């Protein structure tokens, strides 16, 4: 399954806004077979959320963002790299 790294510009948001966005994402993922939210990181300093998702294709990533009413600045295919792979 392809993995994607997403960048979302959200500005400074409250914990309540962050939780509401997460709940919308979960609700939409539950309606989209094959799409999985793996994890996200919020940088308050940058006002950005960095997300890892899995999906059969990039179109589903954009559809998820649209349905969940989440911004999506960039989306790129990525692969795992871990230090143990190089030892």
Of 81, 2, 85, nearest to 38 by C-alpha is: 2
pLDDT tens sequence across 50-75: 999 999 999 999 999 999 999 999 99
Q: Check residue 10 and report its DSSP letter.
A: -
Tens digits of residue pLDDT in 22-48: 999 999 999 999 999 999 999 999 999
Please give the average per-residue pLDDT across 1-19, as a whole number.
Answer: 96
- Three-state SS sequence of 25-60: HHHHHHCCCCCEEEEEEEECCCCEEEEEEECCCHHH
SS3 label, residue 7: strand
Rounded Cα distance, 6 and 75, in Å: 4
Which domains, ranges and CATH numbers included, belong to the chain?
A: 3-86 (3.30.70.3090)
Is the full-model pTM beyond 0.85?
yes
């Amino acid at each position: 399954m392809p993995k994607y790294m997403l960048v979302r510009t959200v500005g400074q948001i409250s914990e309540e806004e962050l939780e509401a966005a997460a709940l919308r994402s979960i609700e939409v993922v539950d309606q989209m077979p094959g799409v999985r939210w793996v994890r996200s990181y919020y940088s308050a300093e940058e006002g950005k959320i960095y997300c890892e998702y899995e999906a059969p294709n990039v179109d589903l990533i954009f559809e998820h963002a649209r349905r969940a009413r989440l911004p999506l600045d960039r989306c790129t295919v990525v692969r795992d790299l871990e230090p143990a792979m190089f030892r």
